[in-house]
Amino acid sequence: MDRRFFLQVAAATPLLGNPVDEPVYRRVTRFQPVGAQGMPGPYPGQVVRVHSEGAIDAASDKVHRDLVKQMLATGIKALTGDARTEDAWARFISPSDVVGIKVNCSGAPRICSSPEVVAGIAENLVAIGVPAKQIYVYERFDNQLQSVGYGKYLPTGVNIQAAEASRRSIMGYDPRTYVETSFFGEDDTRSNLVRLVSETLTKIVNVPNTKEHQAAGITGCLKNIAYGNFSNVDRSHRYEKTNTLSFIGTLAATEPVRSRVVLNVMDGLRGVWHAGPFSEHAKFRFYPKLLMFGTDPVAMDRQLIDLIEAKRKAESAVSLWDRSPKHIGRDNTDPNINHYIREPGHVEYASKLGLGVYDAAKIKLKAIEL
């Protein structure tokens, strides 16, 4: 192995060949942490939530772009305390950075990182001097990414790039940066990092959605930067009892992902409260009409758990934390039936890896109404 490499080894025991409850992980990366940059960042345990009733019309699904811009400006300034929007963004990004905007398109085109939100972020980056050609809107799968049509909204020159032009293509992944583990004796035990992240980007703005996930419990900040930045991750939820509890945080804590994700902007204009992360059934979509801001992905996902739980309770659906076998099945039209035993505990697990604050009593939430 090249001497520039070093191993981040979670345990020294061999990788196992049978289904396991506590997987053994081996991280292989040539990247070192970058000072205090990255998760949980300069604002641990802090979340700003901006709600605007007029941001999106639930009947037509039409987004009010000017209100979204106002929400972005209000939220980022509330997080940093700056009076000027440009100064707030400049705390995270400099003109010399090559910036990735990590979108989530698994529920596209109905549920995804809204083009209006993504374009607003890109416009703010350009405003502080980042050339458009140094900005990449990216996702793993090209068909999902293209279904959204981001190009019609973004500043001219911004790149749109997917790791996989065709499913299971390996060219968009870095063969030298991966997390290795065996969940059930599978042939391919490596999950490789998206090559764009390891070879091009210097900073990442994470733009997840407000979604339930049938295996992980929620798809928020952590899952978007974990499963959204590595290959071969669906193997963690092939069976009713999954390995999402530990895998999500392990991937998110791997360098250079941990250091390069400097800001999270959670898009909660639309959401999914059941049968996620996709959006096959309109009855499970809802409209929180909010954006959340923070550098701490754990604290933000803690808020997302509460949001989804509240919606499920209002719909008389079982809790995300329910583990009863009687609620396991293949009918994804019934809100009390789920394919897997959900693992929303992956958020607390990630906190134990140093990625953020999970204790609700220690999280400072600033709620703003526009």
Show pLDDT as tens, one digit a residue, over the chain (370 residues).
Answer: 333 333 333 333 344 444 577 899 999 999 999 988 899 999 999 999 999 999 999 999 999 999 999 999 999 999 999 999 999 999 999 999 999 999 999 999 999 999 999 999 999 999 999 999 999 999 999 999 999 999 999 999 999 999 998 777 889 999 999 999 999 999 999 999 999 999 999 999 999 999 999 999 999 999 999 999 999 999 999 999 999 999 999 999 999 999 999 999 999 999 999 999 999 999 999 999 999 999 999 999 999 999 999 999 999 999 999 999 999 999 999 999 999 999 999 999 999 999 999 999 999 999 999 9
Specify the 3-state DSSP secondary structure of 339: coil
Sequence-separated (6 or more) residues with CB below 8 Å from residue 325: none
Ordered alpha helix ranges (H), 261-345: 297-314
Token digits of residue 359: 């204790």
Architecture of domain 35-169+195-369: 3-Layer(aba) Sandwich (3.40)
Alpha carbon 304 to chain centroid, angstroms: 12
Closest CA to 185 of 73, 8, 56, 18: 18
**Are the C-beta atoms of 269 and 100 separated by less than 8 Å?**
no
Sequence-separated (6 or more) residues with CB below 8 Å from residue 22: 246
DSSP states of 140-173 as a string?
EEHHHHHHH-GGGTSPTT-EEEEEESSTT--TTE
Which residue do the tokens 């981040």 mark?
8
The maximal CA–CA distance of the chain, rounded, in angstroms, is 58
Burial label, 139 (beta-carbon count in 10 A; 0-12, 13-18, 19+):
buried
Domain layout of the chain by residue ranges: 35-169+195-369
Which residue do the tokens 């030298």 mark?
176
Q: Is 181 left (phi over 0), alpha (psi -120 to 50) or beta?
A: beta
CB atoms within 10 A of CB 345: 17
Token digits of residue 139: 């996702």
Does pTM top 0.75 for this prediction?
yes
Sequence-separated (6 or more) residues with CB below 8 Å from residue 308: 210, 211, 212, 218, 271, 273, 320
Q: What is the Cα–Cα distance from 126 to 215, expressed in whole angstroms?
A: 37
CB atoms within 10 A of CB 167: 9
Specify the 3-state DSSP secondary structure of 283: helix
